Structure 1
Amino acid sequence: MMKKHAVLIGVVIGLILMGVAIGLYPGGTMFDETTVGFSWSRNFISNLFGARALNGAPNPAMIWAYAGMLLFPCCYALFFVHMAGKIPVKNAGIILKYLGLANVVFTFLTVTRYHDLMLIISTSLFWTCIVIITVYILKTKLHWFKFLCIICVLLFYYGVYLWGTSNWDLLPTIQKVNFATSTLLILALEYFTKAEDFANVH
């Protein structure tokens, strides 16, 4: 049972840990350092990881945030391994496995002084895996999943566009929408796809 539902269990625990972190965050945003608590539309998730909150107070959310965010890539890596087993194209499976595992390593390294660089690398690895899966989903008869995959990828690139154009007003919200939709997509693919769905994919 644990093995069958490991991805779901890990995601749920990660969400609980992140929920605790959000509840403990003292306050402050890049727009206003005097705010109290975590703002869903003004704080980035990364604000939870500082030793001090943006309002200057000690940040008790940090340890909970790191625990949650380090658990997610482990769950995602397990999912990518499962998807690699469903897709009959050997090279694609190998790429999914190893990029998923590499994502875990680089996410762990975000706790170092190279946080920004490691975050960029881990995000790139994660979304490369999602794009690969999307390519093969588009070759199947899983029409609903085609729609979900395309929506997730478009939202991600919209977030990249907002970041590139320094649109800080919308970016915190899109970051969370991105996280939510990609996680829901992963859980849906984990439970509602099987190897037979990819039997004619090449």
Structure 2
Amino acid sequence: MPARNDTASAAGFILIPLVGIALFLLLFFWATYLYPGGWQADKQAVGFSWMHNYWCNLLNERAMNGEQNPARPVALAAMLILCGSLSVFWYYLPLLFLHTNQRADLLLQITGICSMFSAAFIVTAYHDIVIMIASLFGFFALAGTFVGLYRCRLVNLFWFGCSCLLLMAVNNYIYYTKDLLYYLPVIQKVTFVAVLFRIVWMIKAMYARQQAN
């Protein structure tokens, strides 16, 4: 838990997730360039399709066309950097809420970091189980975040977060029901961008609050 009298020194660490997100995006684009090709309905397609390929395709040992996947090491590095960076984000997030409740802050930190730690294992054979575990921890972390945003009257962040939750719900509905599955790769990417944008927004708010102290 960040100490109350150490908020000034924490300001620099708050920006670490921004660096991690930037590195993740760079590595992600690099991985799409390296991906040999293939997607669910067209195994012989060349290269990465922004319309049809999932993020997970970049993490597989073999591409959908059956070739060895040279994008995997880059995508793995991107995933680990993102999870590590967002763990720092969750650690410092209580600073945005001015430490109004230390127990709630600790629960937010633990569940947020555990969610990121679990997500790092998404590349294993236990992909679906890992998603469930990460989602469970993420649910409690997000619940604590929404409570903090509401109490601190950060209205814009609160409602934008609601739109992100709606996108996540649509992702899960399509994933488990298979309805409109053709559109899921695009919806997945839109959701990912929206969530990252919200995190960057919250980091900016945290940093501004620390600078004002």
- Shorter-chain TM-score range: 0.7 to 0.9
Equivalent position of 2:190 in the other structure: 177
Worse overlay, 31-40 or 118-127: 118-127
Alpha-carbon distance in 1 for matches of 2:197, 2:134: 19
1:62 partnered with 2:72: yes
Q: Per residue, is there more helix in 1 or in 2?
A: 2
CA contact (8 A) 2:59 2:71 kept: yes
Equivalent position of 1:106 in the other structure: 118
Equivalent position of 1:144 in the other structure: 156
Which one scores higher on RCO, CA 8 angstroms, separation ≥ 6? Answer: 2
Letter in 2 for 1:171: L
Equivalent position of 1:186 in the other structure: 199
Pick closer, same or farther for the CA change 1:186–1:159 going to 2, 3 Å. Answer: same
**Aligned equivalent of 2:103, options 79, 88, 91:** 91
CA contact (8 A) 1:131 1:153 kept: no
**Aligned equivalent of 2:85, options 65, 71, 75:** 75
Deviation, structure 1 residue 5: 2.0
Worse overlay, 81-90 or 122-131: 122-131
Deviation, structure 1 residue 34: 1.3
CA contact (8 A) 2:15 2:203 kept: no
Equivalent position of 1:19 in the other structure: 29
Deviation, structure 1 residue 127: 4.5
Aligned residue for 2:78, secondary structure, equals helix
1:3 partnered with 2:13: yes
Deviation, structure 1 residue 58: 1.2
Aligned residue for 1:29, secondary structure, equals coil
CA contact (8 A) 1:18 1:68 kept: yes
Worse overlay, 111-120 or 6-15: 111-120
1:164 partnered with 2:164: no
1:122 partnered with 2:134: yes
Equivalent position of 1:199 in the other structure: none
Equivalent position of 1:31 in the other structure: 41
Alpha-carbon distance in 2 for matches of 1:71, 1:123: 19
Alpha-carbon distance in 1 for matches of 2:139, 2:51: 23
Pick closer, same or farther for the CA change 1:194–1:9 going to 2, 3 Å. Answer: closer
Alpha-carbon distance in 2 for matches of 1:180, 1:123: 18
Worse overlay, 95-104 or 17-26: 95-104
1:134 partnered with 2:146: yes
Alignment deviations for residues 61-83 of structure 1 (CA, whole Å, 9 cap, x no partner): 00000100111111111111111
Give identity over the alignment, percent.
29
Q: Which residues of structure 2 form unaligned runs of 5+?
A: 1-10
CA contact (8 A) 2:53 2:185 kept: yes
CA contact (8 A) 2:14 2:207 kept: no
Deviation, structure 1 residue 194: 6.7
Equivalent position of 1:200 in the other structure: none
Worse overlay, 127-136 or 152-161: 127-136
Worse overlay, 140-149 or 35-44: 140-149
Q: Which residues of structure 1 form unaligned runs of 5+?
A: 197-202
CA contact (8 A) 1:85 1:195 kept: no
Aligned residue for 1:170, secondary structure, equals helix
Deviation, structure 1 residue 9: 0.5
CA contact (8 A) 1:40 1:172 kept: yes
Alpha-carbon distance in 1 for matches of 2:14, 2:70: 34
Aligned residue for 1:32, secondary structure, equals coil
Worse overlay, 105-114 or 44-53: 105-114
Deviation, structure 1 residue 164: 2.3
